[in-house]
Amino acid sequence: MSENEPAQMIEGRYRIVRNIAEGGMATVYEAIDERLGRTVAIKVMHTQLAKGPHREQFVERFRREANSAASIANPHIVQVYDTGEFNGLDFLVMEYVHGVNLRHEMNAQGTFSVRETLRVVFDQVGTPTYAGDLALAIFSLIEAGRYAGNEGVYHFTDEGVCSWYDFAVEIAAAAGHDICRIIPCHTSEYPTKATRPAYSVLDKTRFKETFQMDIPHWREALIYCMKRLTENNP
């Protein structure tokens, strides 16, 4: 395979079958776990991110996302089996969820109606943040008086990074909705009057070093938020 794709075998265990999806941070492959004899999905970080100028930040976030996903037990979230690094690229081995192929469905049924599809940009990367986490952080600092002597400008978001497309897919999964098909598209396909940045992840280093506060991953925050919405709107 090319430099942008993993070798046919990863760690002598996972045999790549085919490319099944592209995201803002990684490519997802269908593979066979030769040791356990099961089909898995392997998410491999893009080369331009893993070997680019912001490598450490992306690798840290990719690994934190893996740890956070592995800690979540939810029937609507795929299970994480393994993680590792191969040829300088971090990868995440996940449960493979069987389903219909969108291209085959469109060839068979034709173009879906607007209500059946949702196009979301995949080339704009940022950090979804639960407003409750921001409010809790501010309240905690005020209540403890820890802001005294530390006045200034700080960045705060939840941990992790994803594209708008990735976020939309996670929301649909957490809500258990599979009626609407979410399709990735380029920013150029969705013109707006205001130009949005391709990369809008904020550096929280100053905040974390100053206040030593644990910040949840956006996936955890999403699950919590969706749970609260469900409880309040049964």
Mean pLDDT, rounded, of the chain: 82
Predicted confidence at residue 209, as pLDDT, reads 93
Residue 65 lies inside a defined structural domain of this protein = yes
190 and 206 housed in the same domain: yes
Residue 27 lies inside a defined structural domain of this protein = yes
Q: 3-state SS of 84-123?
A: EEECCEEEEEEECCCCCCHHHHHHHHCCCCHHHEEEEECC
Residue 66 lies inside a defined structural domain of this protein = yes
Which structural domain, as residue segments, surrounds residue 20? 9-95
77 and 130 housed in the same domain: no
125 and 143 housed in the same domain: yes
Residue type for position 20: I
β-sheet bridge partners, residue 29: 19, 42
Residue 3 lies inside a defined structural domain of this protein = no
β-sheet bridge partners, residue 86: 89
146 and 228 housed in the same domain: yes
135 and 158 housed in the same domain: yes
124 and 183 housed in the same domain: yes
Structure confidence by residue, pLDDT tens digits, 54-83: 677 777 777 877 777 777 666 666 788 999
| % of the chain surpassing 70 pLDDT | 82
pLDDT of 117 strictly over 70:
yes
The C-alpha atoms of residue 80 and residue 16 are separated, in whole angstroms, by 17
214 and 114 housed in the same domain: yes
| For range 138-158, the mean pLDDT | 89
90 and 165 housed in the same domain: no
61 and 150 housed in the same domain: no
Question: Hey, is 48 helix, strand or coil?
Answer: helix
DSSP code per residue over 182-225: EEEE-GGGS--SSPPPSB-----HHHHHHH-----BHHHHHHHH
Structure confidence by residue, pLDDT tens digits, 154-175: 999 999 999 999 999 999 888 7
Structure confidence by residue, pLDDT tens digits, 17-61: 998 877 667 888 999 999 999 999 998 988 877 777 767 777 777
Residue 2 lies inside a defined structural domain of this protein = no
What's the half-sphere exposure (Cβ side, CA atoms, 13 Å) at 51? 11
64 and 117 housed in the same domain: no
53 and 71 housed in the same domain: yes
* Token output for 22: 């592209």
The C-alpha atoms of residue 69 and residue 49 are separated, in whole angstroms, by 20
Residue 157 lies inside a defined structural domain of this protein = yes
216 and 135 housed in the same domain: yes
Residue 1 lies inside a defined structural domain of this protein = no
Report how many domains make up the chain.
2
Q: Is the pTM of this model over 0.75?
A: no
